[in-house]
Amino acid sequence: MTPPTLIVIDVQRAFEDPAWGERNNPGAETRIAQAIEGWRRRGAPLIHVRHRSAEPGGTFVPGTDAFEFKREAQPLDGEPVITKDVNSAFIGTDLEERLRAADVTSVAIVGLTTDHCCSTTARMAANLGFETWMLGDAMATFDRRAPDGELIGADLIHRVELASLHDEFAEVLSTDAALSRLETD
């Protein structure tokens, strides 16, 4: 069986800015690094995705420190990097074309943030017919305010998002479980 392509989404320094607020899963980057290393060790394909602000003065501006990948998710020379301008890694990029050209049938997703770019990419991957894994412990998000002003905690948002994806759009599993499957395939 061909291993899933690991899609590493938006693990960028912009998310270190305290303006984002409280975050869940402080160990997400460690798990992301473990997933990347496991895929590399197996010789399995991976693609790095980064977000670029479409508007001037945005957070993810090319040429700034915020635009750069975090240390734990630095691409190696020769590893593909896709730059996107919206939440989905499939919109306005050649991601689907790359996957189809390589006869990829499954993807595994890690990155930031669970409820935005990771979820949007997972939903589109599933809708495009790719078997999709979400490595839930290799993702994180931030507290958000509901329309009525209520503060909703990042951990709750993370868990609800993964629950809504599981068994409909993706299989949610741990990094250890994904790496175990990767090694046995």
Q: How many domains does the chain have?
A: 1
What pLDDT, on a 0 to 100 scale, did the predictor assign at position 58? 85
pLDDT score of 183 = 86
CA 164 from centroid of its chain's CA atoms: 16
CATH code, 144: 3.40.50.850
Q: Which domain holds residue 178?
A: 5-184
Give the pLDDT band (50/70/90) at residue 56. Answer: confident
The model's pLDDT over 94-134, given as tens digits with 9 standing for 90+, comes to 999 999 999 999 999 999 999 999 999 999 999 999 999 99
pLDDT tens digits for 18-27? 999 999 999 9
